[in-house]
Chain A
Amino acid sequence: MVIHSKSGDQIHYATTDGDLVQEQEKPQTRSPFGLGGPGAVRYLIARFEDYDNYRHLALHRLSRVEILDDPVQGMRAFDLNSYLRNGNMNLPYGERISLELLFYDQAGATFTKPLSIRAKSWLSMTRGLLK
């Protein structure tokens, strides 16, 4: 499967100096290898045609996707678990720590017993991320 994505004129990318640059209208052929992301935004791990490096494309920025019949080149050599374990998507695939925090000015009030829904939610999230 190959994904063709054609960006519309609503899509802009900010450069490092803050200028906005509109993406080209030309459709780009991208080969998808996986899907992931540390937060609410999901990213497609993909290669651009004629490039060997992997890029992360925010799904909400793909304005139109066309699935082609062409097979993805290099898919067998790609190991998603290794890719994530190497920290490529900032997922918690590493060290577990015993975190000790001291809160001031009642900032940690929601984390005292009984645990609030918010605290439970956060603890659940941090513990549940790819154990």
Chain B
Amino acid sequence: MTVDVEHTEELKWWILGFGAKVAVLAPASLRDEIEAELDAAVLRYR
């Protein structure tokens, strides 16, 4: 799915709400942001 949206924190949390069931393909900056957030979450369990 590709949509034109505003880049907000709310958007980030919406994507994170899907957990492992979604991957951000673009833009790379948001992909990196989501990856960093998920990495940090995984560390909470180690």
Contact = CB atoms under 8 A, between A and B. Distances in A.
B14 to A, nearest CB: 8
Question: Which among B6, B20, B22 has the greatest number of chain A C-beta atoms within 10 A?
Answer: B6
Dominant SS at the B interface? mixed
Interface string B1-29: 11111111111001100101111111100
A131 B38 CA distance: 29
A100 B8 contact: no
B30 interface: yes
> Which range holds the interface residue count of chain B?
20 to 34
Contacts, number: 87
Given A39-B10, A90-B9, A98 B27 contact: yes
A12 interface: no
A92 B24 CA distance: 19
Contacts of B24: 99-101
Nearest to A93: B6
Nearest to A90: B9
Given A96-B7, A99-B30, 20 more contacts: A38-B8, A39-B10, A90-B8, A91-B8, A94-B6, A95-B6, A97-B4, A97-B30, A99-B4, A99-B11, A100-B1, A100-B26, A101-B22, A103-B18, A107-B22, A123-B3, A126-B3, A126-B11, A127-B5, A129-B8
Interface of A: 38-39, 90-92, 94-105, 107-108, 111-112, 122-123, 126-127, 129-130
Closest 7 A/B residue pairs (Cβ): A92-B6, A107-B21, A100-B26, A100-B25, A92-B8, A126-B5, A100-B2
